[in-house]
């Protein structure tokens, strides 16, 4: 089960069809290769002042960099790099995984 957040709601992504024998895959990047957003991945700590709107520098200091983001994902998910040769057509194993989850 993968928990997704969209339009203000959490949703569990569960397979509707039998999974491919090699398991399911969920893309972590969009078609342009940009990382998909991860919501609620920062705990600002007890000292954070919620009543004050933070400035951009404070926000940037709280957000994880690419290495921290990858490490966090690897702590919770089994990551596998799947190369897409065409942006219009995903690899067959990714397409089958996404079909099972939709």
pLDDT of residue 31: 77
pLDDT of residue 94: 64
pLDDT of residue 36: 84
This prediction has a pTM of 0.57
SS3 state at 3:
strand
Half-sphere exposure of 4 (CA within 13 A, CB side): 13
Q: What is the pLDDT of residues 2-35, one digit of tens each?
A: 778 778 888 887 777 787 787 777 888 887 888 8
Q: Which two tokens stand for residue 74?
A: 């690897």
pLDDT of residue 11: 86
pLDDT of residue 7: 83
User: Any idea how long the chain is?
Assistant: 102
pLDDT of residue 30: 81
pLDDT of residue 95: 66
Q: What is the pLDDT of residues 42-65, one digit of tens each?
A: 888 888 888 888 888 888 888 888
pLDDT of residue 63: 84
């Amino acid at each position: 089960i993968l928990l997704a957040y969209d339009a203000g709601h959490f949703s569990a992504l569960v397979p509707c069809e039998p999974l491919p024998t090699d398991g399911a895959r969920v893309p972590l990047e969009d078609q342009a290769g940009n990382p998909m957003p991860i919501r609620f991945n920062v705990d600002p700590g007890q000292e954070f002042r919620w009543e004050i709107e933070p400035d951009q520098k404070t926000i940037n200091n709280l957000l994880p960099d690419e290495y921290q983001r990858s490490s966090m994902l690897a702590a919770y998910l089994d990551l596998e790099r799947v190369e897409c040769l065409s942006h219009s057509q995903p690899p067959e194993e990714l397409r089958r995984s996404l079909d099972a989850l939709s």
